[in-house]
Structure formats: structure tokens, C-alpha cells
Chains A and B, each alone.
Chain A
């Protein structure tokens, strides 16, 4: 929706219309000061400092104060007439660069650089000493795993890139930097392994990123929706993950990742439907366990989406299919409920969703209350009051539980939402309605693409060779081929004969 057909200069999407050059502004320090003050609308935290023939500009809280005092101010106090190279020699900060582009310099200052102007010289020195107001590295909150690395991304782009580089110490890992957002000027990094990732896909990603014209970009989850193949679909087509190991695993398989400054989530693509139910931990545990867990997750999806619907359909239309042993308990628990099965099921599903949403929003201190409210008040009391049947409580709770097994949060919440239309279809048309809903979803899924690749691969188009690492995870000697979805340039991971 926000994409435009033609690509434009993506380096800086700044909305200043007069192209400033050195001739007009950099002639004297007073002209530069005037320009900057006008550009920043006399903001109070733009500090201007003059030391002999040097003029220093920075934004007050964006620079690291101690570093600024120690490495810049102290070293600049003993000379009267600085030349540009003298400044560079004197200052003991590594990240230093010269630039003659005033708008680039301004952007750099906004992001935590100190800009030094030597009177009369047509070049600016930019010293990067951003204040270190980052959260320290912590455990990933939403994607925890038992065996494997316990570190998650944080909000700093440079930290996140370094976390990936630490695991992938190869010169082939390529980082392409973009700035997106007319007002936010958010830094975006695209990472991929040159020689593994398909050039077509990388080019497609470049085009999508450079055609974004949006005023603000605050999170990778927003960017994810902007570069999706189908932004109207309910299904996520790119994975949002906060795990560096998941990203590295993807990169090694020829996928592309996008990091956004200020967001602890990386975008990983292209990703097929089934890969949303995989986790990095599946490779850390032994293969029978990994395969079992994967099958469990897929069963859980079907259970979660269809179980309540089947209950409603069987009780409303198809009493024939109820097994004889279940007939009496089902009938007796239903006979006290004053509502039709559909209404009963929607009510209970709604309560569960309320509990979940309240649980996610509640402060942790009162979080325990939720368990009591959910477990005792709603569970037991609702049955005793003849509000719902206890069999339905089991079914709904099972469905809710099953939906939380999905490793991807976006996919998990989608599964919970998709239950409702299926439930309503089941309540109006029985099994026929469930089948209708299932077909509708399947048709949609089969039409979806992820970065131009088919979403339902390896099932459709059938790529049987990729099945060994999708619904199951076979031992390493059998999964030596990279999956075909991202069309990797190098198809073989390793020689299977040399792997035990």
C-alpha cells in the first residue's frame, strides 16, 4: 500500500528542498550557526561551542558526556589555530569521519555525533560518540527455549548486528544500510550471506525497502507489514524473531534478514508457512524429540482451530457421529445449559481471549490474580451455574493451550483469531461449514507468497526433498541440502558422508 512503483534515492529521504552546499553555508562559522539554528528551529538542546577557531555542534543528551569531556574538550584546549588534520590527530575517538554534506552532518548530529567546523574550511569533522542509553542484553521474553543460546536482541541496531556477526564471522556476511522514514530517519540494515542468498531475492528486498515512502518507522513489526507480499492477509509472511541464533540459522540457509534501529525484533524472510512452527531448538535436541515436537505443534494447530468447531457442529447438526460412550456424558452436561451450542462456545472462547489479553496487559504484580479469576471463577463457577458444559471447558482450554505451542507469537495469535469464523461457520452449517472455512483458508494460503516464493512450500509445490526438515527433523546426515524456498546459490550445506 505504501509502496511506489519507481524507486528513488534511498540514501536520505530528507524533506529539505533546498540542496545546501558548502559554498553558501560553510564560509564562516556565523553562517553555519545561523543555518543550523534555523534548521533546528532554535531547539534548546542544540549546543554550540567555540574553542579558538573551532565551532562544535552537538545535541545535548545524544552524546556521551564523559567521553565528550575526556576525549574532545580536554584535548582541544592547548592550541590557538587548528587545522583540520590537527583536530583529527588530537581526538582519540575511533569513529571519526570527514564530510562536506551538511544535511548528512546534521543527521549524524541528531543521532549522537559531535560536529566540528574549522573556520573557513569547507569540510566538517563528525565524531560519533552516541550516549549509551541501551538496555543491556537479556533473555528473549517471547521466544524462550530450554537448550541453546539465551540471548535476545535489544533496541540498538549496532548491538544486534554485532550479535549476528559474532556467530557468523565470515567476510561474506553483507550489511546494506538504509534510512527509512521521512521524519524518523530510522536506520535499517539488510543482512545476508553473499554467495548463499539468491541475488533475485536480495534485489527484490532492496526494491521493496527503497520504494517505501512513509513519514515514520518505529519498529520492525511495522516495516514487516510494509514489505509483505500481501498486506491484507491475516497470515504473517515474514518471521519476526528476537533470537540471534534463529536469524543466523536462517542466514545460513540463504535467507535475508532485516534489522531496524530501535526494535528488538529481526525480520527473517522468505519463510514458508510450516517454518513458523519450527524453532531453533529443534536442531539443538536429538532428532526423534525434535520430530515429535514438530508433529505435536502441527497437531496443536488443527486441534486449536477445529476442535471447538467440531464440538459445535456435532452437537448442533451431526448427533450421529458422537460415539456411544460419549453420548450420555455429553448430553447430560449439555442439558443444563440454556444456550445453543454455538452461543455457548463463542461465549467461552471469548472469555478465554479476555483472560489472555488481560494477562498480557496486566502488571506482573497483579498477574497472579488472573490465574485465580480464570481458573476458579470462570472454570468451576461457570459450570456450576449452568452457564457452560464442563466438556466444552476442556475443549476450549485445550484449544487455547494448543495455540500457545506455536513458536512464533504472530502465528499463534492468528490461530486464535481464525477460530472464530470457523466456529461461526460450524454453528450455521455444521461440518459443511467447517469444510467451507478450511477450503477458504487453504485457497488463500496456496495463493500467498513470501518474498515472491510460494508460501505453502514444500507441500505445494511439492518438494519432497524438503520434507525431511519441515514436519519432521531428521538426523543431520539427511538434511544436508538447503531448502529450495529461498533459492540458495549454494544448495548443499555439507557432505553427508562426512557427517556422523
Chain B
């Protein structure tokens, strides 16, 4: 018994003495980078870091540091020269890329984030129209902490399904899948506010085009299985008395499902079927919704309008050769031994054909029913 105790004390003591202590990163002694932006400067990259100030006496909640280097991590080392506390990126929430940089490819800058074990996989990525430095450095009147503002804004938009989920994890997933391309939110400074202006569509890691918020909605309809927020549509409508109206309707999708099936594999042709159930939130224009005939007409017109818009969006993406809808995934899952590579699929994607069916029904038009 005594020997056993002696042994265990000996082992415990040696483990403690020989292993030493882990590297300490005490919260108040480190500079927490919450947001980072990358801009191209010639061959170099300008990194702009929003560093959280946790001193209650500090005049400002954040400190924005810019530095240029050849790599993003080099930027952090350079930036450290300007900081009072060692910069650490474990609390990084948002990473932004300049549009110009995104057109050259964001792969190396996303990869370094993914490799760092301290960086969360749920970090949001975004593309800025214009300079990220200018967006982050600007002294906003009503925004005390630009880092927190960006994070909260992107998070609420993602949760409310207004933009596609663009976390580090999901972007990486789309990037590494052969049959789908990533889609990132587009952010722009609009005076004293920050606005999400739509989505950037990518071919592999390069930005090739922009979608408006409305177009992004249709991408979400096809790409994601779950409900896709609400949308405003304007179209012409003939009511049951033959009177013509220009109607603007706001529709909230309650449930949607999309079916994407390959029907021909040589020249890839798809059957794309969308089933959307929605409710009418608002309608502009003098139509009598008490009349069920009008509701049916409304449904038909919405269906038609949606179909048009979706075709436009798909055609645009086809032209830009960016498969943000995931046609390739459907192809890959139905063709055996396809051994699809990214470039092969992009070759095929340019020529795909599809047969679109939109099944839209209004579940409710309001409480007056």
C-alpha cells in the first residue's frame, strides 16, 4: 500500500514537473481580433484588423489596425508591431475580402483561416464592394463597434434566411465539392450604414458575378431545402372582371421543397421542380381578395413571375459559369463512376438544359378570410 502511494506521488510529481505549463493566453492580456478585412495592394495584401478594446476606460471600444505583408498571417505579425497587446485571432467572427481580391481568388486566405485551430468554423465570410479598409476604418455615427455590427448583421440575415449561409465551414464545403460553387454575401458601406447588397457568386474560389437580393432569393429556393424568407414581386394581373392591374405582392414562404433530377446525362438535362407554399403578407393594387377567383389568378401570376425570374437567374449564372445551385451535385449523385472534376463540370455546366416547374400555392391571404 505504502509503496503504491509513493509510486503514484512520484508519477504525479514527474508529470507536473516535466510537462510544465501550457502557454497562457489570459483574456485581458491579448488583443482580440474580431473582424479582419483583406485588400490587394499590388502584390502585397493589406490586412485590416478590428481589435476589441476591453479596457472600460478606453475612449473607443475598438482599435482598427492596418498593415501590409505578402500573406495574411504576415499581416498579423506586422500588425502586432502597432498593438499594445499580442494579437490573437481566436475570437474572429467575420472575415471580409475586397472584391478585387475575390476576383483573383480567395483560396489562400480562406485556407489559412481553416487551418488555424483557434479560429471557429462558424466564422462568417463576406465580400466587400470596394475597400475593406475603408469600410472597417470609417467612423460610423451610430455604430460603436463595427466588428460586432457586422457579425450581428450577417448572423441575423442568415438566421432569417435572407442570405445564404456563408460560414467558413459551408464555404469550404462548397469549394471542395465538385458539383457546387460557393456563394458569399456582398457587403457595401452606404454612407453611415452597412448594407448587404446581394450575393457574390463564385467559380471555385474566384468571384465571377453578383446577384441582387431578389435573385439570391431564388438561388436559396433551389440550393437550400428549408424555407427561404420572404420576397417582393411586381407583375401585371388581369382580375376576374378583366381589369388590368400592376400588382406588387410580398410573399412569405412557409415551406418549400426543390426536386432536382437528372434526366439526360450526355448533355446534362435536369428536371427542376419547386414546390412553394406561402402566405401573402401585403399586396399593392386594387384587387378583391375576397373573391377566390382572384386568389387563383394571383397564384397563377406569381407562379409565372417566379418562373421568369428563376430562369433569368439560372441563365445569368450559366453565363458566368458558376454553379451555385448545385446542379453538379445532382449530376454526380445520379451518374455512376462519373469521376467528375471541377473543371470537367464547369465545361458541362455551360450547356446544361433544364425543365423548370414551379408549383406555388397561397395558404393564407390574411386574417380577413
C-alpha gap A317/B93 in the complex (Å): 19
Residues B74-94 near A (CB distance < 8 A): 88, 90-91, 93
Q: Decide yes or no whether B24 CB sits under 8 A from chain A.
A: yes
Q: Is A332 an interface residue (CB 8 A)?
A: yes
Known: A324-B148, A327-B32, A327-B91. A319 touches B54 (CB 8 A): no
Contacts A316-B24, A432-B22 given; indicate if A335 touches B148 (C-beta within 8 A).
Answer: no
Contact with A along B173-189 (1 / 0, CB 8 A): 00000000000000000
User: With A322-B91, A324-B91, A324-B151 in contact, do A317 and B55 touch (Cβ < 8 Å)?
Assistant: no
Known A-B contacts A324-B91, A328-B54; the reply to A334 vs B24 at CB < 8 A is no
Minimal beta-carbon separation of A310 from chain B (angstroms): 13
A430 within 8 A of B: yes
Whose C-beta in chain B lies nearest to the C-beta of A325? B148
B27 within 8 A of A: yes
**Which listed residue (B21, B27, B55, B56) contacts A319, Cβ 8 A?**
B27
A423-474 contacts to B (CB < 8 Å): 428-430, 432
8 Å CB interface, A338-381 against B: 340-341
Complex CA gap A315/B28 in Å reads: 8
A322 neighbours in B (Cβ, 8 Å)? 27, 91
A216 at the interface (CB under 8 A from B): no
Give the secondary structure class of A's interface. helix
Q: Is the CB of B27 within 8 A of A331?
A: yes
**Closest partner residue, chain A, to B118 (CB atom):** A320
A319-B88 in contact given A334-B28, A335-B56 (Cβ < 8 Å):
yes
| CA A320 to CA B27, docked complex, whole Å | 9
- Contact of B154 with A by CB under 8 A: no
Find the B residue at minimum CB distance from A334. B28
Does chain A have a CB within 8 A of B170? no
Query: 0/1 per residue, B1-37, Cβ < 8 Å to A?
Result: 1000100000000001001011111111010101000
Minimum C-beta distance from B91 to chain A (A): 7
B120 contacts A by Cβ under 8 Å: yes
Could you say which residues of chain A place their CB within 8 Å of the CB of B50?
none
Which of A324, A330, A340 is B93 in contact with, Cβ under 8 Å?
A324
Give the residue name and chain of the A residue nearest to B23 (CB). A317
Cβ contacts B144-156/A at 8 Å (1 or 0 each): 0000100100000
Q: How many A-B residue pairs have CB under 8 A?
A: 67
In the assembled complex, which residues on chain B have CB atoms less than 8 Å from the CB atom of A232?
1, 5
The complex places the Cα of A370 from the Cα of B271 at a distance, in Å, of 77
Count chain A CB atoms within 10 A of each CB in B55, B88, B91, B151 and give the residue with the most: B91
Bound Cα distance from A316 to B348, whole angstroms:
53
CB B29 to nearest CB in A, in angstroms, measures: 9
Is B54 touching A331 in the complex (CB atoms < 8 A)? yes
Does B52 make an interface contact (CB < 8 A)? yes
* Distance (whole angstroms) from the CB of A1 to the closest CB of chain B: 9
Instruction: Flag if A315 contacts B27 (CB, 8 Å).
Output: yes
A317 to B119, CA, bound (A): 14
Complex alpha-carbon distance, A334 and B32, angstroms: 15
Residues of A within 8 A of B19 (CB): 429
Chain B residues, CB < 8 A from A319 = 25, 27, 30, 32, 88, 90-91
- Given A324-B148, A331-B54, A335-B54, decide whether A316 and B26 contact each other with a Cβ distance below 8 A: yes
A319 to B90, CA, bound (A): 7
With a cutoff of 8 Å between Cβ atoms, the chain B residues found around residue A430 in the complex are 22
Please, how many angstroms separate the alpha-carbon atoms of A325 and B21 in the complex? 29
In chain A, what residue has the closest Cβ to B21? Answer: A428
- Asked if residues A320 and B90 are in contact (CB atoms below 8 Å), the reply is yes
Give Cα distance in the complex from A320 to B116, angstroms: 12
Tell me whether B26 and A341 are in contact (CB under 8 A).
yes
Nearest first, the 4 closest Cβ-Cβ pairs linking A and B are A331-B54, A320-B90, A332-B56, A335-B28
Interface residues of B (CB under 8 A from A): 1, 5, 16, 19, 21-28, 30, 32, 34, 52, 54-56, 61, 88, 90-91, 93, 118-120, 148, 151
